Amino acid sequence: MRSTFTGFNIASSGLFTAQRALDVTGHNISNVNTPGYSRQRLNQAQATPMSIYGGKGMLGTGVDSVSITQYRNEFLDFKYRSEVTTLGYWEAKSQGLQFIEAMFNEPSNTGIATVIDEMFASFQELSKTPESLTTRALVRQRAIAFTNTVNHMYNQMEKMVKDLNFDVNTTVATINGYAEQIADLNSQILRLENDGSHANDLRDRRNYLLDELSKLVNVDVVEMTDVNDKMTKKMVLQINGQPLVYHDRVNKLDASTQKASEFDDQVMVTEVRWANGDRIDTRALSGELKALLDLRDGMDGANKGVPYYIEQLNEFVRTFAEEINTVHYGGYGLDKQTDIYFFTNDGIKSEDYDPLALKLNAKNIKISYEIDTDRNAIAASSDPNLVPGDGEVALAILNLRHKSDMFSQGKPEDFIKSLVSNLGVDTQEAIRMTANQLFLAEQINNQRQAISGVSIDEEMANMVRFQHAYNAAARMVTTMDEMLDTIIHKVGIVGR
């Protein structure tokens, strides 16, 4: 037989369910601008009905709040993290290559090509008037401008390597920080969901951290069954198959071990490995960390980084200076000086300079001590008798400008153009890939937001809907209260 208070219980269940649905709607509206938040919904189901005596059917007993779930699509999460990893790589790569472009500053009126042109122009003037002290001073100043330019370029790129190394260390620390937060969230989520609940807000926070982490390094998210409890799933984050996070435990990356840079053993950089000492295959990495490592360490054509361009600049300076030194060494200055190198290592004396032992590069090239202290030491003549107007050596140095077999690319001008052109192509590719990946990541994220994002219009409509349901349930409670009042206070009092 139906209980006297059954109707009251039915109405109150609708009241409480509508109230809870309004709470969930308010929570959605409050987090409409929260990064990583996924909209939530209250799942409702009919309460277990009771049988009516005599087999006359089942009587409903109201509504139950089953659960509060969030709207997410795990496949789109996977796709987004995959694309944002590539985006992180190309963003960092394009920024680094654009900075290298700025160092070369070509084409411009102040770049290395202009400085070389001006130096050759001064040798042209010297070939016409080898006795002119003014022209000799001009040659010396233009040569100093050349050495200062390549020295400055080298120092800038060396500093960029050190800055990139700092960025690598910072990125590794950030990855470890995210890993620790995710491990802590894993522990909280497992503890709170043991009773079958859904820790939606903690899961949103974890998913947001996974999105941020994926931009820094490629991670694989794996759900593994606990060996002690087959019903429990634990999250594992892997980098190259090795766990970064195993549920609530973190295997950190380490960037404290130092090694010599490949382009200069005086420049120390850090090696990325696991904190337990195991090596990590950085070639299989992706994301921003991989781009920083490529820029810092890249020496080959596939991953051209700062060391590659340093080595190219060194090759140019070494070959270019040796060609000039070879011609200049056999010439004669105004005071009949001979056997003088035009360029030496750190500006030492020619007698102390051994081209085979003391290699010239963009970092140490200077004009020789003799030329730096005496402009008369500049060899312009090929005749020890200093025939007036003899500028054959200066002319021979000038003609090096057109020596087509000096480099595999051709003349000195061709080498610079080829290097700058290749840099420009790489930079444009990085910029284009960044734009493409940004568009692709945004498209996938828009699809995610179509499922997970909070729509103010939809929430306002739900708010009105649940408000009406609440009001109707409240009215039902009032009606049942009046019925019970009739039963309690008015039934059986007729005739009193």
Cα–Cα distance measured from residue 413 to residue 411, given in angstroms and rounded to the nearest whole number? 5
Cα–Cα distance measured from residue 113 to residue 316, given in angstroms and rounded to the nearest whole number? 12
Q: Is residue 196 part of a domain?
A: yes
Q: Quick one: pLDDT at residue 6?
A: 79
Do 204 and 102 have their domain in common?
A: yes
Q: Quick one: pLDDT at residue 112?
A: 93
Residue 279: closest CA among 271, 287, 291, 268: 271
Q: 62: left (phi > 0), else alpha (psi -120 to 50), else beta?
A: left
Q: What residue spans of 388-455 are helical by DSSP H? A: 392-399, 412-452
Helix (H) or strand (E) holding 90: helix 74-104
In DSSP notation, 263-310 reads S-TTSEEEEEEETTS-B--GGG--HHHHHHHHHHH--SSSS--HHHHH
Q: Quick one: pLDDT at residue 49?
A: 87
Cα–Cα distance measured from residue 441 to residue 85, given in angstroms and rounded to the nearest whole number? 10
Q: Quick one: pLDDT at residue 444?
A: 96
Cα–Cα distance measured from residue 386 to residue 489, given in angstroms and rounded to the nearest whole number? 137
Q: Quick one: pLDDT at residue 1?
A: 47
Q: Is residue 48 part of a domain?
A: yes
Structural domains counted in the chain: 2
Do 111 and 53 have their domain in common?
A: no
Q: Is residue 496 part of a domain?
A: no
Q: Is residue 110 part of a domain?
A: yes
- The arithmetic mean of pLDDT across residues 360-388, rounded, is 92
- Burial code (b: 16+ CB inside 10 Å, e: under 16) for 31-55 equals beeeebbbbbebebeeeeeeeeeee
Q: Is residue 494 part of a domain?
A: no
pLDDT, tens digit, 9 for 90 and up, residues 2-19: 566 778 888 899 999 999
Residue 199: closest CA among 208, 209, 186: 186
Do 374 and 247 have their domain in common?
A: yes
Higher pLDDT, 197 or 348: 348
Do 221 and 275 have their domain in common?
A: yes
- At residue 259, the 3 state secondary structure works out as strand
**CB under 8 A, 24+ apart: contacts of 255-262:** 255/168, 255/169, 255/172, 255/173, 261/161, 261/297, 261/307, 262/297, 262/299, 262/307
Structure tokens at 106: 């070509």
- Residue with the two structure tokens 């910072």: 170
Cα–Cα distance measured from residue 285 to residue 304, given in angstroms and rounded to the nearest whole number? 16
The band of 441, judged by pLDDT with boundaries at 50, 70 and 90, is very high
Do 65 and 94 have their domain in common?
A: no
Do 48 and 189 have their domain in common?
A: no
The C-alpha torsion from 242 through 244 and 245 to 251, rounded to 10°, is 100
Instruction: Please state, as a whole number, how many other Cβ atoms lie within 10 Å of the Cβ of residue 415.
Output: 19
Do 470 and 354 have their domain in common?
A: no
Do 82 and 52 have their domain in common?
A: no
Q: How far is CA 88 from the centre of its chain?
A: 4
Do 479 and 447 have their domain in common?
A: no
Do 337 and 474 have their domain in common?
A: no
8-12, 101-105, 169-173, 229-233: which range is least confident on average? 229-233
Helix (H) or strand (E) holding 234: strand 233-239
Q: What are phi and psi of 444, to 5 degrees?
A: -65, -40
The yes-or-no verdict on residue 485 having pLDDT over 90 is no
Do 46 and 154 have their domain in common?
A: no
Q: Is residue 495 part of a domain?
A: no
Distance of CA 365 to CAs 62, 88, 89, 192, 415, Å? 89, 38, 35, 67, 19
Q: Is residue 444 part of a domain?
A: yes
Q: Is residue 484 part of a domain?
A: yes
Domain with 94 in it: 74-452
Higher pLDDT, 312 or 484: 312
The yes-or-no verdict on residue 309 having pLDDT over 60 is yes
DSSP-derived letter for residue 44 is E
User: What percentage of residues in the chain have a pLDDT greater than 70?
Assistant: 97
Q: Quick one: pLDDT at residue 50?
A: 85
Do 152 and 196 have their domain in common?
A: yes
- In sequence order, the 6+-apart residues with CB closer than 8 A to the CB of 112 are 104, 106, 146, 149, 150, 153, 416
